[in-house]
Amino acid sequence: MKLAVVGAGAVGRSVVRMAGEYGHTVTAVADSSGAAVDSDGLGAEAVLSRKSARGSVGAADPGEALAAEYDALVEATPTTLGDAEPGFSHVRRALDRDRHVVLANKGPVAERYGDVRRLEDESDGEVLFEATVAGAIPVLGTIADYGPAQVTAVRGVLNGTANFILSRMAAEGLDYEHVLAEAQDLGVAEADPAFDVEGTDAALKCVILANVLGDGSYTLADAEVSGIVDIPPSALSLAQEDGRTVRLVGEATPTGIRVGPRLVSMDSPLAVGGTENIVQLETTHAGSLALRGRGAGGDETASAVLADVARLDR
């Protein structure tokens, strides 16, 4: 397949680097200031080294990537809330041209799921978004295989940064600020960690899951969200004395979304450590099912993007 990649952050760059190995050709790449386009295929090394040396993937106007020849648009620009722009317009542009869209950007399916589905209905193109929920973990593919109607609830640990902080606090008896600083030094937490530690990122993933399971009308505003900022080490040690621990757990059902710190047994599958993620599906006929693995990272998330591309290619 010919791919146009919009957004050249960690995920976009990994898609460009890995696409050839998966048998695909990248015909266009754009970042916020430039683009490189070649309908015969771009060399990944050339594009990526230009990006690291000069800050942009190419000299062309970013809009040219959207007008380029491609079968699927990989939308990997940063997640934005509210109108989900400019990601949403990129989706519209591709669907108007009857092209497929693979999203790594959560905004369009978390904030404007209904709009995305309406545009998809009018197009010959399809929209897939495995990479938006739990990185490399094939949650949406599994739900699609079981049938969304057979999945009654999804719950999980969906934010590696928050999980790293909680598990370090519990293991070392350190306070939140201390562990956050350590996580920032390690590159596990962003300079502005609000999105992760206040539960917003996990909530967006749950909103997407609830949209897939339910009628597709949810946005972030419908989620009941609380984060981990106010959890003191004393709470974690009380939990530990009792064979339990605290995890930031997200729950999505066809009727709602809830994210917050929850008490789980230390031997629960949900008590994953470090930056690991886990997702549990409750199914009508098959009990519960758990998938765990890496929920973030450029190559990990790009592998989910390329799994979607493979689904479109079938």
Partner 1 sequence: MSAVADVAETRRTYTVRLELVDEPGELMRALRPVAENGGNLLSVFHERGNLTPRGNIPVEVDLECSPGRFDDIVAGLRDAGVTVTQAGEDGYAEEVTLLLVGHLVDTDLSDTLATVESCSGASVADFSLDAPAGTDEQSSARLRLAVDPPQVSEVLSVVRDVADRKGLQVVEPLVEGER
Q: How far is the CB of 293 from partner 1 (least distance, A)?
A: 3
Q: How far is the CB of 135 from partner 1 (least distance, A)?
A: 9
The residues, any chain, with a CB within 8 Å of residue 282's CB and separated by 6 or more, are 151, 152, 153, 154, 155, 288
Q: Which of residues 144-173 bind partner 1 (CB under 8 A)?
A: 153, 155
Q: How far is the CB of 264 from partner 1 (least distance, A)?
A: 5
Q: Which of residues 204-263 bind partner 1 (CB under 8 A)?
A: 226, 230-235, 237-239, 241-244, 246-247, 249, 251, 253, 260-263
Angle made by CA atoms 261, 267, 269, in degrees to the nearest 5: 70
Site string for partner 1, 112-151 (x = CB under 8 A): ------------------------xxx-------------
Is 205 annotated as catalytic?
A: yes
How far is Cα 307 from Cα 301, in angstroms, rounded to an integer? 10
Straight-line distance from the first to the last Cα atom of the chain, in angstroms, rounded to the nearest whole number: 11
Does the protein bind partner 1 through residue 268 (CB under 8 A)?
A: yes
How far is Cα 19 from Cα 194, in angstroms, rounded to an integer? 32
Residue 129, classed as helix, strand or coil, is coil
How far is Cα 90 from Cα 80, in angstroms, rounded to an integer? 13
Quick one: which of 117, 290, 310, 313 contacts partner 1 (CB under 8 A)? 290
User: To 10 degrees, what angle do helices 200-213 and 139-146 make?
Assistant: 20
The residues annotated with a catalytic role in the active site are 205
Contacting residues toward partner 1, per CB under 8 A = 136-138, 153, 155, 226, 230-235, 237-239, 241-244, 246-247, 249, 251, 253, 260-265, 267-270, 280, 282, 287-294
